[in-house]
Amino acid sequence: MQDLIEQISSNKQKVDELVRNVGLDKLKAALSEVQHESQKPDLWDDREHAQKILKQVNDLQDEISEWESLTARVNDALELSKLNDETLRPELEKEIESLDKEIERKELATLLSGKYDMGNAILAIHAGAGGTEAHDWAAMLQRMFLRWAEDHKYACEIVDFTPGEEAGTKTITITVTGKYAYGYLKSEKGTHRLVRLSPFDSAHRRHTSFAMVEVLPEAVDDNSIEIPPEDIRIDVFKSSGAGGQNVQKNSTAVRLLHIPTGIIVTCQNERSQTQNRENAMKVLKSRLLDLKHQEQEKEIGELRGEYVKAEWGSQIRSYVLHPYQMVKDHRTDYEVGNAQMVLDGGLDGFIEAYLKYIRNPK
């Protein structure tokens, strides 16, 4: 049993270090503070504020409970292993495997400390130039992200979809709901490049396709984004085209034009016009929030002399299917030889490498 004792002891050291780094005592103090706020008699005088406070209470309770549960599990496993009872080996080996996965997930989560990292994400994919070939590549990315989200138990809703003329996806907007959705998916923002033998080329020549992936934090609770009604033009129209998952041909669609910036948002799915309008406003607020952050980063970067404008051609990742198979991230140099595994949703290695990279850039 000595081998198991050593493995569990190593896990205990990792958990203890993670608990110290995350500041469990600070989390408990923060919980006490918001619980006190939630018990004020005038809490519900401001419904929006009350909901925000209650969400903070729930989030902190869940976070503390997860850390306490993980600590208890590793301590219990260590005690059992020290009994030197070989009949417990199968049970302990199974628990060690489960602990390894949970600790790895927690280690990754500690890299997520941004203001919006814990919240939901809005993911948009836009096919580049190249017609059917580019539209098919956008559809491949759409499938990749939906598979990744499904594997990680995130809820996805397609709020806008424009199909390609012959096949694939021209543009799609998806809300991804769940803890740390934005924190993980922010690594995917940028241009994705595909190199392959085209199935749409009768001569079966090699083609290069591009698609732009946009990842925004959901700006539901951000009071810094206010949109006066006179700044928006609203058009209502019937959904057209072949539709897609959760999109019906006859659904009522909404198009918003934000006059000061020229940003256009459309939303169309199986819900009512009112719900489409709410979804469109959510996406618009998130795009305006992202624009605000870009302007702040540009200003800071220019002061430091390091701002570089993001251009369409500066791809973040290449997916090569011919003449060899490889997916490589150009920011972190992380690469995988099994391209199909990545296209089936295997993004965790790229996400982890990116989170470590932004904490300690080259």
What is the tens place of the pLDDT at every residue in 166-184?
Answer: 889 999 999 999 989 999 9
On the question of pLDDT at 7 being above 50, the answer is yes
On the question of pLDDT at 311 being above 50, the answer is no
Rounded distance, CA 38 to CA 149, Å? 33
Rounded distance, CA 266 to CA 252, Å? 11
3-state secondary structure of 158: strand
∠ CA 221-224-228, rounded to 5°:
100
Pairing of strands 190-197, 206-217: antiparallel
Rounded distance, CA 92 to CA 99, Å? 10
Contact 227, 285 (CB under 8 A): yes
Q: How many CB atoms lie within 10 A of CB 315?
A: 19
What is the tens place of the pLDDT at every residue in 129-147?
Answer: 878 999 999 999 999 999 9
Rounded distance, CA 252 to CA 272, Å? 7
Contact 16, 85 (CB under 8 A): no
Which of the pair, 190 or 223, is modelled with greater confidence?
190
Rounded distance, CA 103 to CA 107, Å? 6
Residues 6 or more apart from 26 whose CB is under 8 A from it? none
pLDDT band (50, 70, 90) for residue 10: very high
Q: How many CB atoms lie within 10 A of CB 44?
A: 10
Rounded distance, CA 324 to CA 160, Å? 35
| Per-residue pLDDT at 342 | 97
Structure tokens at 166: 């012959």
Domain definitions of the chain by residue range: 2-109, 121-218+317-359, 229-304
Rounded distance, CA 12 to CA 128, Å? 48
| Topology of the domain covering 121-218+317-359 | Alpha-Beta Plaits (3.30.70)
Q: Could you tell me what percent of the chain has a pLDDT over 70?
A: 89
On the question of pLDDT at 308 being above 50, the answer is no
Pairing of strands 263-267, 315-320: unpaired
Rounded distance, CA 81 to CA 356, Å? 33
Phi, psi of 257 (to 5 degrees): -115, 120
Residues 6 or more apart from 305 whose CB is under 8 A from it? none
| Per-residue pLDDT at 13 | 95
Which of the pair, 252 or 234, is modelled with greater confidence?
234
Structure tokens at 330: 């150009």
Place of tokens 């769940």: 178
Contact 122, 176 (CB under 8 A): yes
Q: What is the second-level CATH architecture of the domain 229-304?
A: 2-Layer Sandwich (3.30)
Superfamily of domain 2-109: Release factor (1.20.58.410)
3-state secondary structure of 306: coil
Q: Could you tell me what percent of the chain has a pLDDT over 90?
A: 55
Per mean pLDDT, which range of 75-84, 90-99, 237-246, 347-356 is the poorest?
Answer: 237-246
| Per-residue pLDDT at 299 | 61
End-to-end CA distance of the chain: 42
Task: Kindly state the average pLDDT of the residues 104-117.
Answer: 83
Task: Kindly state the average pLDDT of the residues 73-89.
Answer: 93
